[in-house]
Amino acid sequence: MSVARLTLRGCIAFAVLVLASGCATLPPNAGQDPRDPWEKYNRNMFAFNDGFDEAITKPLAELYVKLPEGVRTCLSNAFSNLRGPSTAINNFFQSKPVEALSDVGRFAVNTTVGIVGCFDVATGWGMEAHREDFGQTLGVWGFEPGPYLVMPIFGPSSVRDAIGIYGVEPFLDLNFYIDYPGIEYTVLGLRVVNERAELLPADRLVREAALDRYSFIRDGFLQRRRSLVYDGNPPRVIDPDDEDDGDDAKAPAPARSTSSGPAQTKPPGEPGDGAGKPVDAKPGDAAK
């Protein structure tokens, strides 16, 4: 089949998906959350991605999990190994030379002894897996995430992470340096499917637990990325509304008279809260 016809087919499939996914229902306050000024676009893209996922990625992932567990573990290890150099470079950029060196050792061991990464030997040898990317590095360098951004097909991101992960990261990823296009794109495709397969159990949980799946996933993504920038231990953000009056059994407290509380223990509130007093913080500081 000619390339032109393939492209045409692709375009038609794409158009059908866009039409089928339709437009997302927008809540009345869409776009008022300072973390998500592009909520209207984002919700539509989210709905489109859902359609794409249902039609293509998820069915492939469900096929993929039928592979024997050993094969999947091997592939999954090998794919993480392709990110090894990137993790080392990013740890170096983030001024963590000890971790960076461990990542170099890890990559060397798993590529050789572990046969192109299929077996994770290095963890047993005390070289723990890290997962760093250039979006996190930008965060460590002090860049705010900026507006939340749902990428076509790839899903949740932010302006900072889109630049780091889709702009810079491909050049740090070994996949990019596989010089045989056939292999390069097969590996890339398998990686996407592998990652989707690993999310299958979480899928059901999110569908059950979320009242609004869009904001559940958005808030989870933003929290997770912030946590990753701080290597799992971000400073606590205390909501000024979280007054601990301890009299839960009593009737509603009169207005907000007690809400100002001891200001020094209550840093600026979360961005979504219009009443939060952004004492001396830059906008978006809390969402760092």
Partner 1 sequence: MQKFLKILRFFVAPVALALAGPVVAQASTAAPDALVRDLTADVLDTIRADRAIANGDVSRVQKLVDEKILPYVDFQKMTRLAVGRGWRSATPEQREVLTREFRTLLVRTYSGALSQVKDHKVEMGPFRAQPGDMDVLVRTNVVPSRGDKIQLDYRLEKQDAGWKIYDVNVLGVWLVENYKTQFAGEVSAGGVDGLIKSLTDRNRQLADAKKA
256 is an interface residue for partner 1 by CB under 8 A: yes
Among 224, 235, 260, 283, binds partner 1 (CB under 8 A): 224
- Contact segment (CB under 8 A) with partner 1 among 85-93, 145-153, 157-165, 225-233 equals 225-233
5 or 204, CB closer to partner 1?
204
Residue 234 to residue 184: CA distance in whole angstroms: 36
- Contact segment (CB under 8 A) with partner 1 among 8-16, 94-102, 109-117, 243-251 equals 243-251
Q: Which two tokens stand for residue 184?
A: 């390069």
CB of 10 to partner 1, least distance (A): 34
Among 25, 250, 262, 264, binds partner 1 (CB under 8 A): 250
CB of 136 to partner 1, least distance (A): 12
1 or 255, CB closer to partner 1?
255
CB of 235 to partner 1, least distance (A): 11
Residue 197 to residue 204: CA distance in whole angstroms: 13
Size of the site for partner 1 (CB under 8 A): 42
68 or 201, CB closer to partner 1?
201
CB of 71 to partner 1, least distance (A): 13
CB of 11 to partner 1, least distance (A): 37
Which is it for the CA torsion 136, 137, 141, 143, positive or negative?
negative
248 is an interface residue for partner 1 by CB under 8 A: yes
281 is an interface residue for partner 1 by CB under 8 A: no
Site string for partner 1, 140-179 (x = CB under 8 A): ----------------------------------------
Contacts (CB under 8 A) with partner 1, residues 1-60: 27-29, 33
For residue 146, give Cα distances in angstroms to 82, 206, 227, 276: 29, 25, 16, 19
Contacts (CB under 8 A) with partner 1, residues 69-128: 73, 76
3-state SS, the chain, equals CCHHHHHHHHHHHHHHHHHHHCCCCCCCCCCCCCCCCCHHHHHHHHHHHHHHHHHHHHHHHHHHCCCCHHHHHHHHHHHHHHCHHHHHHHHHHCCCHHHHHHHHHHHHHHHHCCCCCCCCCCCCCCCCCCCCCHHHHHHHCCCCCCCEEEECCCEEEEHHHHHHHHHHHHHHCHHHHCCCHHHHHHHHHHHHHHHHHHHHHHHHHHHHHCCCHHHHHHHHHHHHHHHHHCCCCCCCCCCCCCCCCCCCCCCCCCCCCCCCCCHHHCCCCCCCCCCCCCCCCCCCHHHC
- Contact segment (CB under 8 A) with partner 1 among 9-17, 99-107, 172-180, 213-221 equals 213-221
Residue 111 to residue 176: CA distance in whole angstroms: 17
By the criterion CB under 8 A, which residues form the site for partner 1?
27-29, 33, 73, 76, 129, 131, 201, 204-205, 208-212, 215-216, 219-220, 223-224, 226-228, 232-234, 239, 241-242, 248-253, 256, 270, 272-273, 275
